[in-house]
């Protein structure tokens, strides 16, 4: 429960329609796509940096947690108010402040949807490359908080590569400006990249200057169907060794393909047990050369078919339907987005098969193979204690395999609360202590999204 004094002072700043305290109203902000539930004591909807700054200062004064939030599409529990406090929803800060084609820049508030940015800049011949599967619903602020990626990160990179600068309010209540308006700039520490991926633990982003990219003239889709998994993963390694880089390279295993068949029965050959969805973009001549090189790299004795597709939009629709489909067929899924070096993918996917068989678990894998970013889905019944215990042991070994292969535990979903217990597998004690010290500099009273990212200190 919030202190009466804090409620009174917030009431002087926010009108009642932007200050929820009724538990029924607040419940919609108690969960994200991790499906865990932690109700906040209140929800605030700021419209300006000044309002955010005043709230941050009040939360410091009363020692109340403040949890920044976009649209709640994250899967790692990053926006959950685990210790109560105030959910700071930025969903009403939806202004696109400037579109500057000459400098290839758009300036936006954090509540602007990714899709809204794309629609606003497309008439000028540009796009913003980060494209998570939640792009139609996720906010720019949320993309920045998690360092979001998506299928096209293989060519264009993740959010970190496409943000020039930020304005933000630190956990201490200071307004800071990071980065610059230009694509070159090396004055001072790179605080922009520090804030990207920090999941609202250091500062609340109030404005973002985003770097735009020209839309390609030609986009071509390719599919490659394989009889077995090893042939498919070998092709991934060969494709990524080419000078001609695809703009997207997606992998789907047999479990993923069966899910798609259930929804789209006539889309896939019956004997396809592993598949690649490949996209190539650029100018007409360059694209034709890239397509030819990639099709050559796809060749294998176990290749069923590889070629260009007429309706790549339908394929992307099917690919993006996978995660919701998994929710439909399993009471719970453990969804991880691990990354390994591309040349380690054959070993990693073979290891996943071995582990899922060892622990008798149904496992579905798909993802951004061009980055080595695989979404591992262990499908379990949460009412079966034995199955839950086996899944926990299996997940621990999956993470050990990732680290052994020089990978990382999260490529784009973040750490939040779901992965914090495993962080020490990847980050050594000295480095972790330095990160905690940085947190204290930005947020000395630990009010911003407390408990996220790091396991509890010993």
- Do 138 and 233 reside in the same domain of the chain? no
269 & 377 share domain: no
Q: Is residue 126 part of a domain?
A: yes
Shared domain check, 194 and 139: yes
Can you tell me the distance from the alpha carbon of 450 to that of 439, in angstroms, rounded to the nearest whole number?
10
Average the pLDDT over 218-242 and give the result: 95
Residue 60 lies in a domain: no
pLDDT at 331: 60
Asked whether residue 392 carries a pLDDT value surpassing 70, the answer given is yes
Residues 247 and 351 in one domain: no
Whether 144 and 195 map to the same domain: the answer is yes
Sign of the dihedral defined by the CA atoms of residues 153, 156, 159, 161, in that order = positive
- What confidence score (pLDDT) does residue 61 get? 98
Q: Name 157's Cβ contacts closer than 8 Å, sequence gap at least 6.
A: 129
Query: Quick one: average pLDDT of 218-230?
Result: 94
- pLDDT tens for residues 146-176? 999 999 999 999 999 999 999 999 999 999 9
Phi, psi of 300 (to 5 degrees): -165, 155
Domain end residue (candidates: 295, 320, 345): 320
Q: Which residue has the higher pLDDT, 314 or 385?
A: 385
Q: Could you tell me if 235 and 344 lie in one domain? A: no
The two beta strands, 303-309 and 218-226, are antiparallel
CATH number at residue 309: 3.30.70.2190
Contact assessment for residue 201 and residue 453, using Cβ atoms and an 8 Å cutoff:
yes
In contact, 93 and 142? CB cutoff 8 Å: no
Q: Is residue 336 part of a domain?
A: yes
Q: Give yes or no: residues 119 and 174 share one domain.
A: yes
| Mean pLDDT in residue range 11-27 | 97
Alpha-carbon torsion, ordered 369, 372, 373, 377, to 10 deg: 80
Q: What is the CATH number of the domain that holds 366?
A: 3.30.70.2740
Q: Which of 192, 214, 236 is the last residue in one of the domains?
A: 214
Instruction: For residues 266-284, give the mean pLDDT.
Output: 90
Q: Is the pLDDT of residue 93 over 70?
A: yes
Give the chain's end-to-end CA distance (angstroms, integer).
Answer: 29
Kindly tell me if the per-residue pLDDT of 458 is higher than 70: no
The stretch 361-372 carries a mean pLDDT of 92
Q: Indicate if 307 and 345 belong to the same structural domain.
A: no
Domain that holds residue 316: 218-320
d(CA 136, CA 133) in angstroms, rounded, equals 8
Question: In whole numbers, what is the pLDDT of the chain averaged over residues?
Answer: 94
3 lies in some domain: no
- Answer whether residue 377 is part of any domain: yes
pLDDT in tens, 303-355: 999 999 887 787 777 777 777 677 666 667 788 899 999 999 999 999 999 99
Taking residue 71's Cβ as centre, other Cβ atoms within 10 Å add up to: 20
Is the confidence at residue 368, as pLDDT, over 90? yes
Whether residue 253 is found in the same domain as residue 308: yes
Band of pLDDT at residue 27, cut at 50, 70 and 90: very high
The region of weakest confidence among 77-81, 224-228, 259-263 is 259-263
At 321 the pLDDT is: 72
What radius of gyration do the chain's Cα atoms show? 23
Interacting residues of 394 by C-beta distance below 8 A, sequence separation 6+: 355, 356, 358, 359, 361, 378
Q: How many domains, in total, are found in the chain?
A: 3
Residues 104 and 208 in one domain: yes
Beta bridge partners of 66: 86, 448
- Residue 162 counted as domain residue: yes
Asked if residue 183 and residue 106 are part of one domain, the reply reads yes
192 DSSP β-pair partners: none
Identify whether residues 101 and 137 lie together within a single domain. Answer: yes
Most distant pair of Cα atoms in the chain: their distance: 73
Mean pLDDT of the 450-457 span: 90
pLDDT of residue 86 exceeding 90? yes
At CA 68, angle to CA 63 and CA 72, rounded to 5? 135
Task: Please indicate, yes or no, if residue 76 is contained in any of the structural domains.
Answer: no
Domain endpoint, select from 288, 320, 352: 320
Q: What pLDDT is stored for residue 327 in this prediction?
A: 65
pLDDT at 72 over 90: yes
Would 415 be classed as within a structural domain?
no
Q: Which residues of 121-147 are buried (b: 16+ CB within 10 A; e: fewer)?
A: beebebbbbbbbbbbebbbbbbbbbbb
pLDDT at 320: 73
446: left (phi over 0), alpha (psi -120 to 50) or beta: left
């Amino acid at each position: 429960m919030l202190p009466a004094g804090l409620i009174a002072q917030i009431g002087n700043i926010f009108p009642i329609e932007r200050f929820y305290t009724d538990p029924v109203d607040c419940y919609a902000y108690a969960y994200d796509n991790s499906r865990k539930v932690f109700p906040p004591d209140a929800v605030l909807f700021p419209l300006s940096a000044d309002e955010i700054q005043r709230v941050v200062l009040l939360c410091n004064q009363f020692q109340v947690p403040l949890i920044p939030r976009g649209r709640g599409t994250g899967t790692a529990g990053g926006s959950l108010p685990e210790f109560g406090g105030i959910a700071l929803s930025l969903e009403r800060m939806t202004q696109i402040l400037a579109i500057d084609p000459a400098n290839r820049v758009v300036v936006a508030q954090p509540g602007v949807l990714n899709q809204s940015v794309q629609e606003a800049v497309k008439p000028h011949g540009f796009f913003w490359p980060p494209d998570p599967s939640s792009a139609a619903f996720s906010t720019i602020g949320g993309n920045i908080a998690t360092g979001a990626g998506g299928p096209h990160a293989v060519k264009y990179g993740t959010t970190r590569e496409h943000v020039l600068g930020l304005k933000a309010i630190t956990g201490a209540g200071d307004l800071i400006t990071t980065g610059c308006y230009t694509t070159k700039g090396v004055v001072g520490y790179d605080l922009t990249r520090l804030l990207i991926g920090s999941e609202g633990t250091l500062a609340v982003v109030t404005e973002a200057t985003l770097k735009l990219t020209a839309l390609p003239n030609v986009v071509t889709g390719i599919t490659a169907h394989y009889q077995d998994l090893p042939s498919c993963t070998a092709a991934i390694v060969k494709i990524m060794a080419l000078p001609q880089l695809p703009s997207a390279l997606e992998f789907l295993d047999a479990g993923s393909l069966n899910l798609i068949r259930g929804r789209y029965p006539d889309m896939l050959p019956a004997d396809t047990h592993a598949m690649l969805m490949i996209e190539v973009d650029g100018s007409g001549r360059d694209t034709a050369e890239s397509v030819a090189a990639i099709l050559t790299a796809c060749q294998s004795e176990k290749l069923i078919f590889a070629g260009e597709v007429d309706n790549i939009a339908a394929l992307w629709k099917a690919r993006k339907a996978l995660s919701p489909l998994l929710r439909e067929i399993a009471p719970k899924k453990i969804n991880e987005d691990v990354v390994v070096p591309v040349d380690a993918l054959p070993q990693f996917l073979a290891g996943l098969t071995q582990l899922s068989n060892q622990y008798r678990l149904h496992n579905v894998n798909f993802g951004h193979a061009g980055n080595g970013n695989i979404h591992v889905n262990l499908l379990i019944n949460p009412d079966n204690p034995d199955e839950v215990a086996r899944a926990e042991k299996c997940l621990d070994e999956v993470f050990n395999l990732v680290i052994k292969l020089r990978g990382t535990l999260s490529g784009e979903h973040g750490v939040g609360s779901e992965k914090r217990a495993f962080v020490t597998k990847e980050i050594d004690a000295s480095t972790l202590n330095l990160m905690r010290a940085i947190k204290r500099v930005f947020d000395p009273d630990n009010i911003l999204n407390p408990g996220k990212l790091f396991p509890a200190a010993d």
